[in-house]
Amino acid sequence: MKNRLRVLRAEKNWSQADLAERLEVSRQSVNAIETGKFDPSLPLAFRLARLFEMTLEQIFIDDGST
């Protein structure tokens, strides 16, 4: 699923490692989500939304591919 995570992370001036630390996941997880190759679970998606103080729809783009 496409998302705006890379842009949002850049706006906060966070590295992938910074974001991973805040989410308590591996940097590989952040990279895989950012590239749209791994869809996070709903709890992790909500953690992302809370961290960026946004709704899920503002972070993830539903392109109808899945």
Partner 1 sequence: MWCTRSAAERVYLTRMLISMSIYVLVTAIVSWIFAHRHPQGALVYLLAVLPALPIFAVIASLGKYLVEEKDEFVRTVLVQCSLWATAVVLAFTTCLGSLQKYVPSLNKSPGPQNYWVFVVWCLAFAAAQPLVRRRYK
Q: Is 50 in the site for partner 1 (CB under 8 A)?
A: no
Between 11 and 23, whose beta carbon lies closer to partner 1?
23
Q: Is 45 in the site for partner 1 (CB under 8 A)?
A: no
Count the site residues for partner 1 by CB under 8 A: 15
Q: Is 57 in the site for partner 1 (CB under 8 A)?
A: no
Least CB distance to partner 1 at residue 60 (A)? 16
> In a 10 Å sphere around its CB, with 0-12 CB exposed, 13-18 middle and 19+ buried, how is residue 53 labelled?
exposed
